[in-house]
Amino acid sequence: MLFDEKFNDIKSIIKEDLDYLEQGLKKTFTRENPLDKDLSAFLTAPAKRLRPLLGALFLRCVFGEINSKQYDILLSIELIHNATLIHDDVIDKAKKRRTQETLNVKFDDNLAVVAGDYILSVAMEKIIDIGSVEVIKLCTSALKSTCLGEINQYFSKFKITSIDEYIQKSKEKTALLFEISVLSGLFLNEKPIDNNLKQIATEFSQNFGIAFQIRDDLKNVLSLDKLSSHDVSSGIYTAPVIFAYQENENILHEANIAEIIKTTNGIAKTKDLMDNYFDRAILAIQNLEGNIYKKAILELIELLKISV
């Protein structure tokens, strides 16, 4: 079965939840603001919705249902994620996103940055309206760490870091949004939850998010065009490059670096690293009650592991 077919099968388990989210995204930017039409088109373009998917599956797995505030936080986090994508497109000088022209190309970098900030402000407004101080603190802390992750990445350009430093950056840049997608929903449950469940949610979502970033970096390296036009040329050295450099320190000076990486153990070691973090995510939820939602989470992880 192809990736998209299997992925859609997994999404269909919580189709009503994701449809509700899509309707929320459509309703978010419907004012007479000159940019709202473009923002709405960007937000509603076909996307995997992996963060709300994971959050909703976990909440359904634990509680069996999702309340209105939990829906609102999943929507808000998806808005935050999309705001970061717009900012990333500016930084990366990207021309396409989800088959559409990026906002920085359609308009310019200045307006794209403001558009990302605008989406971010709407997301934070929604989070404040939810009324949970704990969730507000969690989300603002995650945003701060995400920004610091970008800052640290900028200052580490053209430097080979350790794998531990790479993992920390992956946690800051990517894993935290997965974490708040899962953890915020717990805090918004109508009944108190114990610390053990919070720990399970934290370990699961962090490890999943780190693994997902490693997977993304691995896929980029396996795509010569992406690698040559972005990561290495921009001085961003991810796990496959770091592992390959450990074998051949001259690799950064080679014109066909992507092909040379494939002759080292860089790809295999990165795959092992990714699998290790996905396995940690599986281990974190092993004691949760078995149901169709837990089964879907495990199927999602397995799909991501084998489809690199």
Packing angle, helices 3-12 and 15-28, rounded to 10: 90
pLDDT tens-digit series, residues 1-12: 689 999 999 999
Measure the CA–CA gap between 129 and 22, rounded to whole angstroms: 20
Q: Is CATH 1.10.600.10 correct for 3-306?
A: yes
pLDDT tens-digit series, residues 64-102: 999 999 999 999 999 999 999 999 889 888 888 888 899
Mean pLDDT of 272-282: 98
pTM, two decimal places: 0.94
pLDDT of 227 reads 47
pLDDT of 93 reads 85
Mean pLDDT of 284-288: 96
Residue boundaries of the structural domains of the chain: 3-306
pLDDT of 216 reads 93
Percent helix, percent strand, percent coil in the chain, to nearest 5: 75, 0, 25
pLDDT of 240 reads 94
Burial environment of residue 190 by CB neighbours within 10 A (0 to 12, 13 to 18, 19 or more): exposed
